[in-house]
Structure 1
Amino acid sequence: MSVLHVVFRVGTAEYVLPAADVVQMESFSGATPVPGSPAYVAGLVQVRGRVLPVIDARARFGLPPAERNLDTRVVVGQVAAPGGGLRTVGLIVDAAREVVKLDPEQLRPPPPLVAEQARGFVKAVAQVGGVGQGSAGAGGSGRLLLLIDLNKVVGEEQVHAE
């Protein structure tokens, strides 16, 4: 059975999260820094009356900063909270405009080297044939979509701001 996934871009790579884990997507206009937080925590934002911690995906993934523009989005999702329950957080991404259906058999474990280098952020890789832009690499057709583990991306140093 196909599952809807939200596609977003960070740098030149495309990532996905299950749509069921995404609460909403918002434009990004800036964050209020939080003293003492890890460098990848951009700060706090207000989204529809709620104050949320936001993670800078570029910083978290070890990419250089890029100028924010009208395509920059905050993907608002749910992660496991310390002590149980769910916590709502935002992930700042370069662009997010698409939803795709992925069948479970399209999701493959990442190659061992990728799994090691990505610090557990990448749970699976899907190859999607020839739709849209991007390429699967040398001689390949289609796109590679990396399924991320939002709990690991957010990290155990979550900002407690709710």
Structure 2
Amino acid sequence: MNELLLIVSIAGSRVALPAAAVESVVELEALIPVPRAPAHIAGLSALRSRVLTVIDCRRSLELGTTDLTSAGIHEAAVVEIEGHHYALTVDVVEDVFEALSEPAPVRAPMEQGWERVSQGMVETDEGPLLLVDIEKLIAGPSVEARAA
């Protein structure tokens, strides 16, 4: 397997994103709230004259909230899905590594949010990492979970 993976940390967990889907890694600055948007949509931001929908990955995974109101660096991976640009907030962007295996089923219990976005475990030079489905991360919790 020759797939490259972007290794990031979300809610303190190291995970892998398919690097081919990531356009860039940015530091978010201004964030404009979106009234009535689902809670995992932190707001809108701009990047090189493009509007980005900012996804709070912690909220999408139902693991708390990322404080994007405080001053400081807020890293995000920018992806494009069906013509729309998204910034996925992460704690830390580490590096790019090659996947050494195909995704394999996860054999340990996971929190519901991680289970929803999991594509399986992949081997890397850094050890096994959870491969995250970016589209499911963007979609956020199910409607039933949001209503609860």
TM bucket (normalised to shorter chain) is 0.7 to 0.9
SS at match of 1:104: coil
Is contact 2:9-2:91 (8 Å) kept? Answer: yes
Is contact 1:28-1:74 (8 Å) kept? Answer: yes
- Among 69, 74, 77, which residue is 2:76 paired with? 74
Find the aligned partners of 1:121 and 1:16 in 2 and give their Cα distance.
11
CA RMSD of aligned residues (A): 2.4
Residue in structure 2 matched with residue 57 of structure 1 by the alignment: 57
Is contact 1:14-1:144 (8 Å) kept? Answer: no
Find the aligned partners of 1:42 and 1:89 in 2 and give their Cα distance.
11
Q: Residue 65 of structure 1 aligns to which amino acid in structure 2?
A: T
- Which string of whole-angstrom CA distances, capped at 9 and with x for unpartnered residues, describes residues 110-141 of structure 1? 23743865352111112445x4xxxxxxxxxx
Change beyond 3 A, Cα 1:7–1:95: same
Is contact 1:124-1:146 (8 Å) kept? Answer: yes
Structure 2 unpaired stretches of 5+: 142-148
Is contact 2:97-2:124 (8 Å) kept? Answer: no
Residue in structure 2 matched with residue 93 of structure 1 by the alignment: 90
Residue in structure 1 matched with residue 122 of structure 2 by the alignment: 126
Instruction: Count matched residues.
Output: 138
Find the aligned partners of 2:33 and 2:131 in 1 and give their Cα distance.
28
Is contact 2:100-2:123 (8 Å) kept? Answer: no
Q: Output the TM-score relative to the length of structure 1.
A: 0.73
Structure 1 unpaired stretches of 5+: 132-142, 158-162
Find the aligned partners of 2:13 and 2:115 in 1 and give their Cα distance.
16
- Which string of whole-angstrom CA distances, capped at 9 and with x for unpartnered residues, describes residues 63-94 of structure 1? 22355543x31100122x3xxxx322110111
Q: Output the TM-score relative to the length of structure 2.
A: 0.79
Change beyond 3 A, Cα 1:117–1:88: closer
Is contact 2:59-2:66 (8 Å) kept? Answer: no
Q: Residue 92 of structure 1 aligns to which amino acid in structure 2?
A: T
Q: Among the aligned pairs, what percent are the same residue?
A: 26
